[in-house]
A and B are shown apart, each in its own frame.
Chain A
Amino acid sequence: MSVGDYIRNSQIWKSVFRHPAPTDRRNRVVVMLTNFFLHLHPVSIKQQGIALSYTWCMGGITFFLFLVETITGVLLMFYYRPTLEWAFYDIQALRDVQTLGIMREIHRWGAHAMVITVWLHMYRVFLTGSYKPPREFNWVIGVLLLVLTLLLSFTGYLLPWDQLAIWAITVGSNMAKATPGLGTEGPGFQLFNTSGYELITNASDAKFLLLGGRFVGEATLNRFYILHCVAIPLVVSGLIAIHFWRVRKDGGISQPL
């Protein structure tokens, strides 16, 4: 008996993988049904539905990049401190000194790549008409995931706390104070400020809510850090689960009807 066979016949191996190696048809079916990670897939699938020139693989790549971002992001969180005193110098040290500093590079390039792959995934889904019934609602979830991807990238942009970061966020968040009704430089906020009581001021408007202050400062850094590392990823994870679940429930990978 070879070593490989010995391992595959051990109680430990069998307790993890509840079936023989997927070398014959029966076990190739069984593996899809009994493995937690694989059970997202169907057992069998139309050949053209998984052709790369048809799907472009962009949804899958986006999900993979999300996982890469999670892993590299967690590693970065061990090192990085989101305070005015340390934020910039921690990133600088990641670049210049730290052994695994490349995690920051991978994290940033992965984020850019993820924005692009989300667009391309959406592009493909539109061009193949895959948003049409019965997949309408999954398209809606996809649009929400697009927004959240952009927000993830936007909140992460601030964290290095260099000139590029704060001014990009300043330009971006200046839009918030023009929100109609809710910003002090947008139309209609005066409607809330009648009879001498000012509801919408520069210490209570949409920009203040976003930044946690009148300008990009320590409170903003903290706020964006929590949004970037905890709040948005949680929501995204939930929506991804629904998105995948609905791909299966809404008729599987799209194909000519």
Chain B
Amino acid sequence: MLNPHPDLTPSVLVGLGWFYLVIFLMNLLWTIRSFKVDGEYRSGMPRASVWAVYTSILMMLSFYHFTYPVEGFMFSMPLAFKDFFDAYFSNPVLYFFLTIVGLWAMIQFREWWTRPTVAWVLLNCSLIFMTLSLTDYDFRQIVGKPDNVPIVAMLFIVAFFTWIYFSRAVDNDRRIAEGRPLFEQEDNEKVLVWPDLVYTELICMVVLTAVLVFWGIALQAPLEEPASSMKTPNPSKAPWYFLGLQEMLVYFDPWLAGVVLPSIILGGLIAVPYIDFNKAGNGYYSFKERSFAITTFLFGFMPLWVALIVLGTFLRGPNWNFFGIYEYWDVHKVEAANNVNLSEFFWNGLGLGIPKGSGVGDILLRESPGIILTIVYFAALPPVLGLTVLRKYFVRMGVLRFLVFSNLILWMAILPIKMLLRWAFALKYIVGIPEFFFNI
């Protein structure tokens, strides 16, 4: 396939050269660090020499970008890989599935990937992948949008802090298992706020101011054409932090995705301290002592919030179609959508035909399978769960607390459930009463 775009201009190459220079400098520090064993510098360490070689290659790459002409440029993402990636990795099903697997792996292998060397290799892989991808025109169009740059930064920042969390939690879990004091309890003398905290705050403020000024100079805030209610952009997107909610519109009507679910998210967050009866893990990092709470929160934050924002920002193009990261945002891309309501499945499946008529009784009869299912889900499932799998929680929480807790969990689950039903059965609505805008 021929690439229709003028891929690499000299200014892009220079920009990428700066990227490699930054990665080179990071790895230079890392190489120096890896020569150190037990606090002393020793030469001839095999591991350190591997890093030294890698770092030198980065430096050469950087200079190559600064000096080499565009013709015959050698370091771009291979077209074959881009086509492969777009062909097999550009659909929301696999994307969501991979974020879930990623979360599972993150928790399961936390002792492995929090080791500094592993984490550093992973960071390098993601940076090199991103820098190579930036040689692609379409990737640059989306990732390079001024308002999208903070989101890319956010991904790395969230990953960094998640790493801090897991490495400290793994450490504390070990300490608890061995009966040693927590990390937070060691060297924990009282110090005076002046100078110990006041100076940290001052330095923090100075650094932040510098970062903001530099950011403001380097990257111009977006300003598009003057507002016009005649020209609707395609796609029309909400501000980036609401794109997770906008993504939910694919699966739910606005009254659920835009009003009810956000309210439940906030209500659920407010309820957290009142339904978490676990007294352990107060004021220190830990995982094992609060594995359920942490896993639930990470599930809500990673696949259901951050990943959906990324999906909505980078992967949803015109007509809210899904586009691969190297794919051109074609306005004419057509995606077949023949979604069917549960009532049609049910009545046609029984061979009875969908009940007709527009009276309230007729509508209720038509939608009775979905209505019953919804009532069972929200009203009958919590007691059943409380008496079986979640009995432990029910006993410790009491009736009211448990009902709130189990309903919040069920609400959290409806998005993945609806996604799976949509992908597996092309299900449109569980309850579909467009007459009253009541579609679930």
Instruction: List A residues at the B interface (Cβ < 8 Å).
Output: 22, 25, 28-29, 31-32, 38, 41-50, 52-54, 56-57, 60-61, 64-65, 68, 88, 91-92, 95, 102, 104-106, 108-110, 112-113, 115-116, 119-120, 123-124, 126-133, 135-136, 139-140, 143, 146-147, 150, 153-154, 157, 160-168, 170-172, 174-180, 183, 185-188, 190, 215-216, 254-257
- How far is B165's CA from A123's CA once the two chains are assembled, in angstroms? 10
Tell me the residues in window 227-278 of chain B with beta carbons closer than 8 Å to chain A beta carbons: 227-229, 231-233, 236-242, 245-246, 253-255, 257-260, 266, 269-270, 272-274, 276, 278
3 residue pairs, one from A and one from B, having the closest CB atoms: A175-B258, A105-B216, A178-B254
Tell me the residues in window 295-348 of chain B with beta carbons closer than 8 Å to chain A beta carbons: 297, 301
User: Can you offer 22 A-B residue contacts whose CB atoms are under 8 A?
Assistant: A32-B193, A38-B194, A44-B190, A45-B196, A52-B200, A53-B164, A56-B164, A102-B213, A110-B212, A128-B281, A131-B273, A132-B273, A143-B269, A147-B266, A168-B239, A171-B238, A172-B239, A178-B255, A178-B437, A180-B255, A186-B255, A255-B283
B274 contact set on A, CB distance < 8 A: 136
Tell me the residues in window 136-194 of chain B with beta carbons closer than 8 Å to chain A beta carbons: 147, 150, 153-154, 157-158, 161, 164-165, 168-169, 182-194
Instruction: List B residues at the A interface (Cβ < 8 Å).
Output: 147, 150, 153-154, 157-158, 161, 164-165, 168-169, 182-198, 200-201, 204-205, 208-209, 212-213, 215-217, 219-229, 231-233, 236-242, 245-246, 253-255, 257-260, 266, 269-270, 272-274, 276, 278-286, 290, 293-294, 297, 301, 433, 436-438
B255 contact set on A, CB distance < 8 A: 178-180, 183, 185-187
Return the contact of A131 from the options B197, B222, B272 (Cβ within 8 A). B272
Return the contact of B216 from the options A38, A102, A170, A186 (Cβ within 8 A). A102
Q: How far, in Å, is A12 (CB) from chain B's closest CB?
A: 22
Return the contact of B204 from the options A64, A113, A172 (Cβ within 8 A). A64
Q: How far, in Å, is B409 (CB) from chain A's closest CB?
A: 16
A-B contact count (CB 8 A): 264
Return the contact of B227 from the options A88, A127, A180 (Cβ within 8 A). A88
Q: Take A31-B194, A162-B225 as given contacts and tell me if A190 and B436 are in contact as well, using a CB distance cutoff of 8 Å.
A: yes
A95 contact set on B, CB distance < 8 A: 220-221, 223
Q: How far, in Å, is A115 (CB) from chain B's closest CB?
A: 5
Most buried by A among B186, B191, B245: B191
Q: Are A47 and B187 in contact (CB under 8 A)?
A: yes
Q: How far, in Å, is B279 (CB) from chain A's closest CB?
A: 7
Q: Are B228 and A163 in contact (CB under 8 A)?
A: yes
Q: Are A188 and B436 in contact (CB under 8 A)?
A: yes
- How far is B158's CA from A119's CA once the two chains are assembled, in angstroms? 9
Q: How far, in Å, is A248 (CB) from chain B's closest CB?
A: 12
Q: How far, in Å, is B216 (CB) from chain A's closest CB?
A: 3
Q: How far, in Å, is B238 (CB) from chain A's closest CB?
A: 5
Q: Are A28 and B273 in contact (CB under 8 A)?
A: no
Q: Take A102-B213, A109-B212 as given contacts and tell me if A60 and B184 are in contact as well, using a CB distance cutoff of 8 Å.
A: no
Complex: chain B residue closest to A22, CB-CB: B194
- How far is B197's CA from A105's CA once the two chains are assembled, in angstroms? 30
Q: Take A25-B192, A106-B216, A162-B223 as given contacts and tell me if A132 and B198 are in contact as well, using a CB distance cutoff of 8 Å.
A: no
